[in-house]
Copies of this chain bind each other. A is one copy, B any other.
Amino acid sequence: MKLEMICTGEEVLAGQIVDTNAAWFANTLMERGVECQRRITVGDRLEDLVAVFKERSTQADIIMVNGGLGPTSDDLSTEAMALALGVPLVENKEWRSKLEAWFAKNARVMAESNLKQALLPQGAIMIDNPVGTACGFAVKLNQAWLFFTPGVPFEFKRMVKEQFIPFIEEHFPLSEPVSVKKLLTLGHGESALADKLEVIPLPEGVTLGYRSYMPYIEIKLFARGQLAIDSLVTIETEVKKILGNGVVAEDITTLDQEIHNRLVNSGFSLSIAESCTGGLIASGLVAFAGSSAYLHQGLVTYSNEAKVKVLGVNPQTLDDYGAVSIATVEEMAKGARGILDSDYALATSGIAGPDGGSDEKPVGTVAIALATKYGIYSQMLKLPSRSRALVRSLGTAIAYDMLRRELLGEAVIVDYSSFSRFSK
């Protein structure tokens, strides 16, 4: 089966929303053994849309079309498909009544333009959208089935999971089983990872892929066929042997999710005092519902005065060692933990750049401390040649990893091989 995707709409050519849909879609299908072989993104010109629908329908078996079902004048996917098929647009009574009910239920006034969303190419199969005003639809043209879905991510994802995947699994059963294993790594660049791992012999059917989730890089072990699947465990062990502490999680794409889960399940409480990471550690956790169960507070103490007044850092410490120092970050962590006697406290202080560096402490110097009820762990890392955003996100990731290791009862301060550290 040849699967392709067409992303439509000016907001796609110039926006991000649907691009994340495309990534999610390809990724989701790939993990079910179906590769999206080509993705085409076109703008709002009606003739371009008609042309690409006709062209790809002679090449692919299934085409996922995303976007352009909205109510505005530059949403033209439906009209273009009708032209490609040579059929008129007809109002789908079922969807029109759903629309009216949807707006009534949400106590909103239905804009006139929404009525357009009930018009489908004659003969199209309506695809329900349980969470939005744009229904999808499916049509057959030449050799291909074209599936039309809205650009709103949570609407799109739900329709893919509930309707698109069951359809292809029924009509295009896989010839062989597939499996994927993901390892989240921290501290190695993609090329360094590739160099380190190329010594591992990969049996037929196993492919090694990389995906960047700054500052993490995910290693994806994809296996097609039972023999390949059986070999995954051995390969995974090899990868972990080579990368050591560089592997920080499995089958998730960020550590904040891992920290959130572990804190929720353990019942431990956390306070955070951030300087250079400036709220990233806290907001990463607050993003998850239920974080209020363990997060006492996240204090962005950016100025020295705030470090003294809010966290009780000794002014003498700031004078003697500077704001970016093991001594200061340890007092920040102790202070943050003490306010509400939290089980744990994380603290960061660093020079994110691009300015503010010195010979002694260049841009990329980041001090991190983890305070527990029984003691304190700290380290000062060197993260040179990196952007402000990357220094901040790396500092956040390493802080999460220190807490993760503590919660697992592992050594908190470890070598990541790709970061160097100031000696205390």
Q: A123 interface residue, CB < 8 Å from B? A: no
A59 to chain B, nearest CB (A): 10
Interface string of A133-144 (1 = CB under 8 A from B): 100000000000
Contact B154 A303 (CB under 8 A): no
Chain B residues in 8 Å Cβ range of A340: 303, 305-306, 309
Chain B residues in 8 Å Cβ range of A19: 16, 19-20, 22-23
Q: Closest residue to A297 on the B side, CB-wise?
A: B306
Interface string of A291-304 (1 = CB under 8 A from B): 11001111111110
Using known A-B contacts A17-B212, A297-B303, determine if residue A48 contacts B37 with beta carbons closer than 8 Å.
yes
Contact A212 B40 (CB under 8 A): no
Stretch at the interface among A164-172, A229-237, A275-283, A400-408: A275-283
Contact B354 A289 (CB under 8 A): yes
Chain B residues in 8 Å Cβ range of A42: 37-39
Using known A-B contacts A279-B298, A309-B339, A387-B154, determine if residue A38 contacts B41 with beta carbons closer than 8 Å.
yes
Q: How far is the CA of A37 from the CA of B14 in the complex (A)?
A: 11
A289 to chain B, nearest CB (A): 6
Q: A84 interface residue, CB < 8 Å from B? A: no
Contact A310 B339 (CB under 8 A): yes
Q: How far is the CA of A194 from the CA of B283 in the complex (A)?
A: 33
Q: Closest residue to A41 on the B side, CB-wise?
A: B39
> A278: which of B20, B287, B301, B339 is its contact (CB, 8 Å)?
B287
Contact A292 B302 (CB under 8 A): yes
Q: A398 interface residue, CB < 8 Å from B? A: no
> A302: which of B154, B289, B295, B300 is its contact (CB, 8 Å)?
B295
Contact-residue size bin, chain A (C-beta under 8 Å from the other chain): 35 or more
Q: A195 interface residue, CB < 8 Å from B? A: yes
Interface string of A350-383 (1 = CB under 8 A from B): 0011110000000000000000000000000000
Q: A200 interface residue, CB < 8 Å from B? A: no
Q: Closest residue to A355 on the B side, CB-wise?
A: B289
Contact A14 B23 (CB under 8 A): yes
Chain B residues in 8 Å Cβ range of A298: 278-279, 299-300, 302
For this complex, 23 residue pairs linking A to B, each with C-beta atoms less than 8 Å apart, are A11-B210, A13-B22, A15-B212, A19-B23, A37-B43, A37-B45, A38-B42, A38-B48, A70-B190, A71-B191, A111-B194, A286-B300, A287-B389, A289-B352, A289-B388, A292-B302, A295-B302, A296-B303, A297-B301, A297-B310, A299-B299, A299-B300, A306-B340
Q: Which 7 residue pairs across A and B have the least CB separation, nearest first? A: A278-B286, A279-B283, A298-B300, A279-B279, A19-B19, A39-B41, A297-B306
A interface residues with partner B (beta carbon < 8 Å): 10-11, 13-17, 19-20, 22-23, 26-27, 30, 35-43, 45, 48, 52, 70-74, 106, 111-114, 133, 154, 190-192, 194-195, 198, 209-212, 272, 277-283, 285-287, 289-292, 295-303, 305-306, 309-310, 339-340, 352-355, 385, 387-389, 392
